[in-house]
Amino acid sequence: MGRDQQKAYRKKQKALRRPGRDDVARVVLHWALTEGLRKERHEDLDKLGSLVASRLAEQGFDQAEARRRFDELLERYQSGWSFQRKRHLVETEEAEET
């Protein structure tokens, strides 16, 4: 796909407000972590962290660093960090309301 085609594709997806793969993955991760914390499923969260780190290592990332990143995210959620919405979607909703 050429540069212009890719630009047009992204513009169309944005206009349709269609979530991408990363958007879906972000929601799934948020749900898995917050539910695991809420239900105090610490052993399952530890297994998930190991699995995520292992899969990222298979893709060429450093496994220890991947695990550290997972644990950092988990700590943020434990501290009350809330899900971060995409700013351009919020701005679109606000514009539609006026």
Q: Where are the domains of the chain?
A: 19-97
d(CA 43, CA 18): 35
pTM for the complete prediction?
Answer: 0.73
Answer for the pair 67, 53: CB distance below 8 angstroms, yes or no.
yes
Q: Residues of the chain with pLDDT > 70: what percent?
A: 85
d(CA 60, CA 14): 30
Which tens digits make up the pLDDT trace of 42-81?
999 999 999 999 999 999 999 999 999 999 999 999 998 8
Token digits for 18? 């269609």
pLDDT band at 92 (very low <50, low <70, confident <90, very high): low
Which tens digits make up the pLDDT trace of 36-51?
999 999 999 999 999 9
In this prediction, residue 33 carries a pLDDT of 95
